[in-house]
A and B are shown apart, each in its own frame.
Chain A
Amino acid sequence: MWNWIQRFSSPKHFYSMSVPLIKWLSISALLIGLYGLYLGLFVAPTDYQQGESYRIIFIHVPAAWMSLFVYMVMAISSGIGIIWQIRLADMVAAASAPIGASFAFLALVTGSLWGKPMWGAYWVWDARLTSELILLFLYLGYMALQSAIDDQRSADKASGLLAIVGVVNIPIIHYSVEWWNTLHQGATVTKFDTPSMHIDMLIPLLLMALAFKLFYATIVLMRTRNEALYRDRNRRWVRELVEKL
């Protein structure tokens, strides 16, 4: 079993294995995304309270979910990298950070674009937006630490540990921000809460969320391949491979 994991997670093996994966993941992300967009923009009914502006939800919520999901992936694979010394896991964590950060940014900007017609201001200290902002800070800290340490191995381990500490803190941060928000902004009902959603709105939302995750899987594989090439640049398999290109 152990040998099998070791062999399977070798960068060389991963590099060749990932080609068909990327192909199928990207195709399904594209198809599901297009279908979700179609349902979201053309089929889903107009919201009786927010009019058409609610259609931002099909971008905003999947992006927010994904930024949280990617942070979890980062922390888990960092843990695997630290505990079992599997290099591939470190590469996945490092490759995930820029993707997660960009989607946290997307969630923030779309949230603020949604907030303008709803609240009359581009930025309101809403609990979800605030939590998302802090999540973006966590991503930026991770990336800053990763790039500040020259030695690749200890950069991975150090930023990986930070990701794990961050993941322990995320629920605490989330809870305290939510609590803080109810205290100070009892008047503003959070507009991003849609407790009873029309099924025709829910389906495109879930489809878009799935498409975003498939997209992440595609991109993280592409980035991990690059990391594998770069980190193994002095090993034989990379040299032989590059010579053939």
Chain B
Amino acid sequence: MLKAFYHLLVRDLRLAMRNRHELINPLIFFVLVVSLFPLAITPTPDALQAMAPGVIWVSALLAVLLSLDRIFKLDYEDGSLDQLMLSPNPLMILVLAKVFAHWLLTGLPLVIIAPLLGMFMSLPAEAITVLIYSLLLGTPVLSLVGAIGVSLTVAVNRGGVLLSLIILPLYIPILIFGANAVDVAMHGSSVKGQLLFLGAMLALSLSLAPLATAVALRITAAR
């Protein structure tokens, strides 16, 4: 079982490495969207600071949303998704491997580049640290919950807007607590509660989302 998990993970990572430009697209998107805000509103540090947590978190969320397709789309198109479902290993484990690969390829790079954006938005150092923690805990949840949505819409033509319609409402709690953690850290208060909530969401979605995704994949494959 662990072996299957490992093999699928390595396979997905390798496949992604073959077209690297697709890998950095969400990253570029993330940086681009965040830099639009100073241009659209005002470049004064005070104003930037006030909106930075929200802007960075919303942009990260949209970047993940845009890349969600990657979890299952190709596998669905070339038929390897059906193969996965025939495998004797529990589908949940395989789903978990695919989601983990997705997070390593999009969520983690977003976390790594976030300090740069924090500097763009003139966030103080302690807020940047919390930004990293909150993204580290929050982006896996985005991938896990997003996987449910992708597995439901992967067979729908032009399912992109549909996917955001069904997934964005479910992202709201993560957005609220993630952005608030950064905001609170900026004002020097304790962010333990917010990070604990994000951690709890991670634990919850880690245990439930793969199950829902597995059911959703079987529904999609049954047509």
Q: Which residues of A contact B215 (CB under 8 A)?
A: 82, 161
1/0 per residue B144-165: CB within 8 Å of A? 0000100011011001001001
Q: Could you tell me the distance between the alpha carbons of A176 and B165 in the complex, rounded to whole angstroms? A: 20
**Number of chain A interface residues as a range:** 20 to 34
Q: Which residues of B contact A145 (CB under 8 A)?
A: 152-153, 162, 166
Q: Could you tell me the distance between the alpha carbons of A138 and B168 in the complex, rounded to whole angstroms? A: 9
Q: Could you tell me the distance between the alpha carbons of A134 and B168 in the complex, rounded to whole angstroms? A: 10
Q: Which residues of A contact B165 (CB under 8 A)?
A: 137, 140-141, 144
Looking at the complex, which one of A151, A165, A166, A183 makes contact with B180 (CB distance below 8 Å)? A183
Q: Could you tell me the distance between the alpha carbons of A4 and B148 in the complex, rounded to whole angstroms? A: 35
Interface flag for A187 (CB, 8 Å) = no
Q: Which residues of A contact B208 (CB under 8 A)?
A: 168
Looking at the complex, which one of A144, A162, A164, A176 makes contact with B177 (CB distance below 8 Å)? A176
Interface flag for B223 (CB, 8 Å) = yes
Q: Is the CB of B201 within 8 A of A165?
A: no
With CB as the reference atom, state the residue of chain B lying closest to A164: B212
Q: Which residues of A contact B153 (CB under 8 A)?
A: 145, 148
Known: A158-B220, A165-B148. A179 touches B169 (CB 8 A): no
Q: Could you tell me the distance between the alpha carbons of A177 and B176 in the complex, rounded to whole angstroms? A: 8
Q: List 21 A-B contacts (CB under 8 A).
A: A82-B215, A137-B165, A141-B166, A144-B165, A145-B152, A148-B153, A151-B223, A153-B222, A158-B216, A161-B148, A161-B152, A162-B152, A164-B212, A166-B170, A169-B170, A173-B169, A173-B170, A176-B173, A177-B172, A180-B176, A183-B180
Known: A169-B169, A180-B180. 6 other contacts (CB 8 A): A144-B165, A144-B166, A148-B162, A168-B208, A173-B169, A175-B173
Q: B residues engaging A (CB < 8 A)?
A: 148, 152-153, 155-156, 159, 162, 165-166, 168-170, 172-173, 176-177, 180, 197, 201, 208, 212, 215-216, 219-220, 222-223
